[in-house]
Amino acid sequence: MIEQTILNNLINNEKFTRKVLPFIKPEYFQDRTQRLTFEHIDDYVKRFNNIPTKEALTIEIDNSKLSEDQFELCSNLVNDLILKEKSDDDWLLEKTEKWCQDKAVYNAIMQSIQIIDGKSSKTTNALPEILSDALSVSFDTHIGHDFLEDAEERFEFYNRVEDRIPFDLELMNKITKGGLPKKTLNVALAGTGVGKSLFMCHMAAANLSEGKNVLYITMEMAEEKIAERIDANLLNVPVQELPDLPKNLYDDKIDRLRAKTPGKLIIKEYPTATAGVGHFRHLLNELKLKRNFTPDIIYVDYLNICVSMRMKYGASVNSYTIVKAIAEELRGLAVERNVPIVSATQTTRSGFTNSDPGLEDTSESFGLPATADFMFALINTEDMEALDQIMVKQLKNRYNDPTISKRFVLGIDRAKMRLYDVEQSAQEDILDGPIMDNTTFGERWEEEGGKHQNRTSTLKF
- 35 in any annotated domain: yes
The band of 454, judged by pLDDT with boundaries at 50, 70 and 90, is very low
Residues 121 and 223 in one domain: no
Q: What string of H, E and C letters represents the secondary structure of the chain?
A: CHHHHHHHHHCCCHHHHHHHHHHCCHHHCCCHHHHHHHHHHHHHHHHHCCCCCHHHHHHHHHCCCCCHHHHHHHHHHHHCCCCCCCCCHHHHHHHHHHHHHHHHHHHHHHHHHHHHCCCCCCCHHHHHHHHHHHHCCCCCCCCCCCCCCCHHHHHHHHHCCCCEECCCCHHHHHHCCCCEECCEEEEEEECCCCCHHHHHHHHHHHHHHCCCCEEEEECCCCHHHHHHHHHHHHHCCCHHHHHHCCHHHHHHHHHHHHHHCCCCEEEEECCCCCCCHHHHHHHHHHHHHHHCCCCCEEEEECHHHCCCCCCCCECCECHHHHHHHHHHHHHHHHHHHCCEEEEEEEECHHHHCCCCCCHHHECCCCHHHHHCCEEEEEECCHHHHHCCEEEEEEEEECCCCCCCCCEEEEEEECCCCEEECCCHHHHCCCCCCCCCCCCHHHHHHHHCCHHHCCCCCCCCC
Residues 92 and 236 in one domain: no
The band of 154, judged by pLDDT with boundaries at 50, 70 and 90, is confident
- 9 in any annotated domain: yes
Q: Domain of 190?
A: 164-452
Residues 125 and 172 in one domain: no
Residues 239 and 364 in one domain: yes
pLDDT mean over 305-311: 86
- 179 in any annotated domain: yes
Residues 237 and 353 in one domain: yes
Residues 328 and 235 in one domain: yes
- 459 in any annotated domain: no
pLDDT given for residue 141 in this prediction: 57
The band of 438, judged by pLDDT with boundaries at 50, 70 and 90, is very low
pLDDT mean over 225-244: 93
Domain with residue 62: its CATH number is: 1.10.860.10
The band of 443, judged by pLDDT with boundaries at 50, 70 and 90, is low
- 181 in any annotated domain: yes
Residues 108 and 205 in one domain: no
> Considering its fold, how many domains does the chain have in total?
2
Is residue 353 over pLDDT 80?
Answer: no
Residues 304 and 185 in one domain: yes
pLDDT tens for 29-65 read 999 999 999 999 999 999 999 999 989 999 999 888 8
Residues 188 and 99 in one domain: no
The band of 445, judged by pLDDT with boundaries at 50, 70 and 90, is very low
pLDDT tens for 195-217 read 899 999 999 999 999 999 999 99
pLDDT mean over 348-354: 69
Is residue 351 over pLDDT 90?
Answer: no
pLDDT mean over 171-185: 94
pLDDT tens for 366-407 read 788 889 999 999 998 888 888 899 999 999 999 999 888 899
